[in-house]
Amino acid sequence: MSRMTGPALEEGEMSRLSVANASGGRTQERSRFADGRQHITGPLAETTDELASRLRERAELTPEFWSFSGRSRREGGHGIFAYPAMMVPQLQGALLEDVQAVDPTVSSVFDPFMGSGTVMLESVSRGLSFYGTDVNPLAVLLATVKSNVYDPEQLTHVRQRIAVRVTEDISSKIAVDFTNRDKWFRADVAVDLSKLKRAISAERRRSIRQAFWVALAETIRLVSNSRTSTVKLHSYSSEEILSRQIDTIGTFLRISASQIEQLKDQAEALSQGFNRNPDLTISCTVADARSVPAAKHRATADVLMTSPPYGDNVTTVTYGQHSYLPLQWIDPRDVPGMKGELLENTRSIDSISLGGKLKGSLESAEKLCSKSSAFAQCLDHLRDHPRNAQTRMVAFVRDLDDSMDAILSHLRSDAWMFWTLGERKISGVRVPTVSIVRDLLVARGARHVETLDRKIPGGTKRMAARNASVETMNTESILVMRGPCNADRGSG
């Protein structure tokens, strides 16, 4: 792809470009500044201004509207598993409703950092098709389960069958073997989990097994020897492990019963979406956001709605570690995109996430500085700090930048973009992620619409305990952008 070129311009001078909107064939007039920035006029500008106005009006009428304090319950399928740092469903839902109100042509949503599928469920329930990816197979399993319309009566019967099988299972054989298994599970707990694993495996339908694997995953989170106060694997003391009162089977039955109620509400929400749009499609796959999409997914999405990691997983939110123990027990044949190497050690999944590879990252610094003044300023602030601080910051932004072209290639011309972003600190220096992402997108022809700031209400996001108390991890921003026009999109 190449940038739209034209005659040389003096600084501040503008040229007029007439380009076709690929999604509707409408002609929009663009003004291009000498530095490549674009200004949109005509109908496209009207819808952009209307959305910005609606977003601001919500905050003006209710100052803490976007924080959703007290209004962010995990229900309707969103609460089937405590996935780390989940997005607020009601927040994403409100954004989708606003964009649908100003642009009725919107029909599809893309999320390259899908997590457990919050955006998926909110999109589909509003009649929008969805395509999402994540590098974590457990996340894709969760999203897959959330995308299914389950019959609660059938699930109740299956739950009863599982309970009977467990009762009749007199074997004390532990069904899994992996490094440090006995560190993370007491012997009695491992025996009971093995019975549950065999009982779930006996079900014939894959989608049914997947639903109960999610219940087992949540059970494992609660009965393992890893503390639930942090998403990182952190063992209880020996004394605490021995004194804990654990009813593994009872925990599973309680969780699965609650899950069935959630999936009942989920079925109603999904059915509502299919009634609004019988042709909508859902696809949840394991993929790296930096991967070039298959032809069928290129230039197909009207909306990008996503929340990339705060930084490298190891020092922010360890999604991979949080998934490591459940994935050891779930049948890998039922986990989309599961590969054995992802469980070689507790950091395998986190190491393939953004910023997971530090080697050679500083070689990208100069190129990134040319794309983002915010990045350049932050790197300058880190020069007096340990070299590792610079390396970690550059590695993450390098990988995020590498993902941009692949992400944008999924989108139609002038697509709507909603980036939910958090800003962490490295060696006490705030990383201006919002400005950096904005710079990287503008360098590719995107245009800024609005930035919404919100507080993260206490307890609504699961982060590493040492990060949850940091000021910058308790606020977020929603960066609203319009994507590039396909006619003049550059490679950045």
Indicate the helix (H) or strand (E) that contains 419.
strand 411-421
**Cα distances (Å, whole numbers) of residue 309 to 218, 421, 459:** 22, 8, 18
Q: What pLDDT score does 6 carry?
A: 33
Q: Tell me the pLDDT tens digit for each residue of 189-227.
A: 999 999 999 999 999 999 999 999 999 999 999 999 999
- Let me know: does 439 contact 374? Beta carbons within 8 Å: yes
For the chain, the first-to-last Cα distance in angstroms comes to 10
Element (H, E) at 411: strand 411-421
Q: What is the pLDDT of residue 21?
A: 39
E strands, 13-89, are: 14-20, 27-33, 38-40
Nearest to 483 by CA among 417, 391, 406, 398: 417
Task: Compute the distance between CA of residue 355 and CA of residue 350 in angstroms, rounded to an integer.
Answer: 9
307-365: pLDDT as tens digits: 999 999 888 888 899 999 999 999 999 999 999 999 999 999 999 999 999 999 999 99
User: What per-residue confidence (pLDDT) applies to 39?
Assistant: 57
The pLDDT of residue 40 is 59
Distance separating alpha carbons of residues 30 and 21, to the nearest angstrom: 11
CA distance 144 to 138: 10
pLDDT of residue 22: 36
CB atoms within 10 A of CB 56: 12
Report pLDDT for 4.
Answer: 31
Q: Over the stretch 397-409, which tens digit does the pLDDT of each residue have? A: 999 999 999 999 9
Q: Which residues contact 147 (CB under 8 A, 6 or more apart)?
A: 117, 120, 121, 124, 130, 270, 282, 284
**Which residue ranges in the chain fall short of pLDDT 70?**
1-42, 69-77, 457-473, 487-492
Q: Tell me, what's the pLDDT at 230?
A: 85
Q: How far apart are CA 433 and CA 438, in angstroms?
A: 8
Residue 29 pLDDT: 47
Task: Give the number of other CB atoms < 10 A from CB of residue 52.
Answer: 16
User: Is residue 133 a contact partner of residue 112, using CB atoms and an 8 Å limit?
Assistant: yes
Four-CA torsion 116, 119, 121, 123, nearest 10 degrees: -160
pLDDT at 341: 95
